[in-house]
């Protein structure tokens, strides 16, 4: 995990997954040592690996892809534990870049990671519902400063919905993918 930070007065824990391959091991170690937080909401932001074509993919790139997916699974496991222990757990939101998730040239590994993350989140939402925890995915584009307030309100409503809204994919990208078949 690349970093853990505690957010607003809503007791939101924010986890960012990604970064350079050189720093992943030290970041993972620091995140594992972080104390369990008394969070009621968890946002997990997935930062995909750098762009590369599938023909340029080597074993090192594939190992990095695997490590990032493992980090996501561990982050969701940690989030579940945090929310169950706090007794006030409400939700997990995974933030993915919309363009990479839907497929863009020279982003084979990044698209693979985001596609796997999306599929994992769908299944995890089903399993987490029994614990009273919702899990949703927000696929986002670049967010100018004036849109950050709207994004915060969206996250608040998703995270405060209990299990009423769970297992959903919400696209927040100013509509460039309207009419495009979603994964």
DSSP 50: P
Give me the CATH code for the 3-172 domain, please: 3.40.50.720
CB contact at 8 A, 98 and 163: no
CA angle centred on 125, ends 123 and 74, rounded to 5°: 80
Strand partners, 94: 44, 137
Residues 6+ apart with CB under 8 A from 54: 108, 109
**pLDDT top residue among 124 and 57:** 124
pLDDT at position 3 over 50: no
Q: What is the pLDDT of residue 34?
A: 43
pTM of the model: 0.77
Rounded mean pLDDT of 2-25? 54
106-159 pLDDT, tens digit per residue, is 888 899 999 999 999 999 999 999 998 989 999 988 766 667 777 778 887 777
Domain ranges of the chain: 3-172
Is a pLDDT exceeding 80 seen at residue 95? yes
Residue 81's closest CA among 72, 89, 69, 71?
89
Lowest-pLDDT range, 30-34, 81-85, 116-120?
30-34
The span from the CA of 141 to the CA of 118, in Å, is 16
Q: What residues are paired with 134 via a beta bridge? A: 91
Mean pLDDT, the chain, rounded, equals 77
139 DSSP β-pair partners? 96, 171
Helix, strand or coil, per DSSP, at residue 12: strand
Rounded to the nearest 10 degrees, the angle between the axes of helix 59-86 and helix 21-33 is 20
Using DSSP, state whether 87 is helix, strand or coil: coil
């Amino acid at each position: 995990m690349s970093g853990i930070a505690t957010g607003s007065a809503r007791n939101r824990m924010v986890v960012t997954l990604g970064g350079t391959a050189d720093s992943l091991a030290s970041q993972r170690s620091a995140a594992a040592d972080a104390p369990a937080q008394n969070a009621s909401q968890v946002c997990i932001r997935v930062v995909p690996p750098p762009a590369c074509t599938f023909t340029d993919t080597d074993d090192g790139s594939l190992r990095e892809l695997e490590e990032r997916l493992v980090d996501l699974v561990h982050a969701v496991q940690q989030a579940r534990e945090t929310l169950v222990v706090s007794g006030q757990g409400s939700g997990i939101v995974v933030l993915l870049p919309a363009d990479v998730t839907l497929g863009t040239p020279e982003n084979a590994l990044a698209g693979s990671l985001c596609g796997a993350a999306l599929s994992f989140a769908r299944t995890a939402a089903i399993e987490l519902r029994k614990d009273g925890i919702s899990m949703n995915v927000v696929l986002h584009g670049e967010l100018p400063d004036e849109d950050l307030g709207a994004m915060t309100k969206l996250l608040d409503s998703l995270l405060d919905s209990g299990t009423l809204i769970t297992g959903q994919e919400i696209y927040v990208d100013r509509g460039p993918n309207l009419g495009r078949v979603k994964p």
